[in-house]
Amino acid sequence: MAREGVEVETGRDPQAAVIWLHGLGADGHDFEPLVPELVQPAERALRFVFPHAPMRPVTLNNGYVMRAWYDIIALDRRTTEDEDGIRASQTLITELIRRENVRGIATEHIVLAGFSQGGAMALFAGTRYPERLAGIIGLSCYQLLAGRFAAERNPANQATPIFLAHGTQDPVVAPVLGEATCRQLQAAGYAVEWHAYSMPHSVCPQEVADIAAWLRRVLP
């Protein structure tokens, strides 16, 4: 399942990759149109990997079957989380990273990114990964299994740059969840770059420009 998705290479023989996880109910095509805005034609070649999440029933949406990295019962910090689904998607992300390794891209040249549910998975898997990544991007998301973070985080990515962004008018994932995630990571000593934008649960042009600039720094 980890190999199902969309790939875009911005040039010949890319030596770095961005693995980008979509949000609930979307698919790997969701952020594909952003690639030309993230990498200019004269810049270094990157491989963008946009995997499709597995199809599964989602409790929050009345059990409707859709692409989801894990089941969601409610978006708050009190409801039981789908740990089995989260761990299964963590395994899929590991497969994606290892696949890039086999194709010649070192882990330290891979950025793990995601939006909403995908961003939550990028943070979860990235901070626990046993090899250093180039960076982690979490957009409009939150911390999964936050109570396990201190015990499970891997020192390999302690110094990895993290880009977090959230819309101040987000009606889906409350801004306080993103802010709490940022505080938890900063308190643990992570290098977090935080951005807040006047937008709902989406992305905006300034955010895309900021991500492009950040990618140039972590994948020079």
Active site residues: 116, 170, 201
CB 125 within 8 Å of CB 88: no
DSSP 60-113: GGTTEEEE-SS--S-SSSSSPP-HHHHHHHHHHHHHHHHHHHHTT--GGGEEEE
What H or E segment, with its residue span, contains residue 115? strand 110-115
CA–CA dist 193, 113 (Å, integer): 14
Nearest to 115 by CA among 66, 160, 172: 172
Q: Is 139 helix (H, G, I), strand (E, B) or coil?
A: strand
Taken in order 192, 190, 90, 45, is the CA torsion positive or negative? Answer: positive
Nearest to 20 by CA among 46, 57, 58: 46
Q: In what order do the strands lie in the sheet with 5-9?
A: 5-9, 47-51, 17-21, 110-115, 135-139, 162-167, 192-197
CA–CA dist 178, 81 (Å, integer): 17
